[in-house]
Amino acid sequence: MLCPGSLSAQNVSDTLRADTAIVKAEKLATQVADSLKQESEPWRDEMGIPLDTSIVDSLLKNGISETRRNKRNFLPDPIRSMWLGLVFPGGGQIYNRKFWKLPIIYGGFLGCTYALTWNNQMLRDYSQAYLDIMDDDPNTKSYENMLPLGYDITGKEERFKTIFKNKKDHFRKYRDMSIFAFVGVYLISVIDAYVDAELSSFDISRDLSIRLEPAIIQTGVPTMRRQRQNSYGLSCNVRF
């Protein structure tokens, strides 16, 4: 037999491991119990008073619905929308959340820019050709670039002087019109942003209605011998 004082090192090690496992198991059980307790505890207000879960759910749902309602009922400021449109073309439409209008506005700007560039280039070419055909310098013949290859205008100078002058005036006219069109698209985008923001608060609910219906109208002043006479017509009812 082994006496108590003759325990081996192996037995002591096994005893310590068993005690450590028991301590870890107790800590794990305590943590699980605390987490379950926290999950089962009700919501509490600032004073620590438990709240009914149905009330909490109602408050959360109302808050979410209120946020969504505010997003749907966004009312832009017309003045701010106008200034944004003046500073940045299309800025008013972005502020009003009318993004589908942006391709129309920027498409108008691109079209006006292309027309302005094309007409300005043709104006410079025909202006130079007109200057070259009007002088007596044989070395300035840029007007030949405006004619078919190998075309000879000998004896037809006066005719082509008139043609080049008319072409120059034609492209100057359309160059100026392109500038006005560019400014017009810019102003229309600003006006649209302002009007759109102004009409966002316009009431278009079902309470607005105009109804025509038959009516009986009493005319005359009643007396002892005479009663009011009835007339038939239409009545117009406006509800707002």
pLDDT tens-place values along the chain, 240 residues long? 444 444 455 554 566 666 676 666 677 667 666 665 554 455 555 555 555 555 545 655 555 555 555 556 778 999 999 999 999 999 999 999 999 999 999 999 999 999 999 999 999 999 998 888 888 777 777 877 878 877 777 777 888 889 889 999 999 999 999 999 999 999 999 999 999 999 887 665 665 566 777 777 766 655 555 666 677 777 777 665
133 burial (CB, 10 Å; 0-12 / 13-18 / 19+) is buried
36, two tokens? 């379950």
Q: In the chain, where are the structural domains located? A: 78-199, 209-239
**Cα maximum dimension of the chain:** 143
Q: Residue 136: what are its φ and ψ, rounded to 5°? A: -105, 10
Residue from 157, 155, 118 nearest 141 by CA: 157
Q: pTM, whole model, 2 decimals?
A: 0.55
